[in-house]
Chain A
Amino acid sequence: MEIKQTAVAGTLESSDIQIMLSKGNHGIEIDLESDVKKQFGDQIISVITTTLKKFGIENAKVKAVDKGALDCVIKARTIAVAQRALKTTDQPAWEVL
Chain B
Amino acid sequence: MKNSVNRDLPDDLMNKLNYEGFKTTDIGQPTVQRVAPKVRVTTGDDKVVDSIETVVKKTVRDGMTISFHHHFRNGDFVFNKVMRIIIDAGIKNLTLAPSSLTGVMNDIVIEAIKKGTITNITSSGMRGSLGDFVSHGGLKNPVIFRSHGNRARAIEHGDIKIDVAFLGVPNADKLGNANGMEGDAVFGSLGYALMDAQYANNVVLLTDNIMPYPNTPASIKQTQVDYVVKVDKVGDPDKIGSGATRFTKDPKELKIASMVNDVIVNSPYFKDGFSFQTGSGGAALAVTRYLRQAMIDNQIKASFALGGITKPTTDLLEEGLVRRVMDVQDFDKGAAESMHHNPNQQEIDASWYADPDNKGAMVDQLDVVILSALEIDTGFNVNVMTGSDGVIRGAVGGHQDAATAKLTIISAPLVRGRIATVVPKVTTNVTPGDSVDVLVTEYGIAINPKRQDLVKAFAHLPGVPVYSIEELQQMAEAKVGKPKPLEFTDRTVALVEYRDGTIIDAIHEVKD
Contacts and interface: CB of A to CB of B under 8 A. Distances in A.
Interface of A: 14-15, 35-36, 38-43, 67-71
B463 interface: no
B319 interface: no
A14 B484 contact: no
Contacts of A68: 416-419
Name the 8 nearest CB pairs between A and B, nearest first: A68-B417, A39-B483, A68-B418, A36-B418, A39-B484, A15-B417, A38-B389, A14-B417
B509 to A, nearest CB: 14
A69 B484 contact: no
A36 B419 contact: yes
Contacts of B390: 38
Contact of A39 (B388, B416, B479): B388
Given A36-B417, A38-B389, A70 B484 contact: no
Interface of B: 388-390, 416-419, 479-481, 483-484, 486-487, 512
B contact face: mostly helix, strand, loop, or mixed: loop
A40 B389 CA distance: 11
A71 B481 CA distance: 8
Contacts of A70: 418, 479-481
Given A38-B484, A40-B418, A68-B419, 11 more contacts: A15-B417, A36-B418, A36-B483, A38-B487, A39-B388, A39-B419, A39-B484, A40-B480, A40-B481, A41-B484, A69-B418
10 contacts: A14-B417, A36-B417, A38-B486, A38-B487, A40-B481, A40-B483, A42-B484, A67-B417, A68-B416, A71-B481
A81 B418 CA distance: 22
A38 B479 CA distance: 18
B417 A40 contact: no
A24 to B, nearest CB: 26
A35 B417 CA distance: 10
Contacts of B419: 36, 39, 68
- Most chain B beta-carbon contacts within 10 A, residue among A41, A43, A67: A43
Contacts of B486: 38-39
A70 B486 CA distance: 19
Contacts of B483: 36, 39-40
A4 B238 CA distance: 53
A38 to B, nearest CB: 5
Contact of B481 (A15, A35, A43, A67): A43
Contacts of B480: 40, 70
A67 to B, nearest CB: 7
Task: Tell me which of A14, A35, A38 has the highest count of chain B C-beta atoms within 10 A of its own C-beta.
Answer: A38
A70 B481 CA distance: 8
B389 A35 contact: yes
A68 B419 CA distance: 8
A81 to B, nearest CB: 19
Nearest to A14: B417
Among A41, A42, A67, A68, which residue has the most Cβ atoms of chain B within 10 A?
A: A68
A38 B512 contact: yes
Contacts of A42: 484
A41 B512 CA distance: 14
Nearest to B510: A38
Nearest to B417: A68
Contacts of A69: 418
A15 B415 CA distance: 11
B444 to A, nearest CB: 20
Contacts of A67: 417
Contacts of B512: 38
Contacts of B416: 68
Nearest to B418: A68
A41 B486 CA distance: 12
Contacts of B487: 38
Given A15-B417, A68-B419, A69-B418, A36 B388 contact: yes
Query: Which of B418, B483, B487 has the most C-beta atoms of chain A within 10 angstroms of its own C-beta?
Result: B418
A70 B478 CA distance: 11
Contacts of A71: 481
A43 B416 CA distance: 18
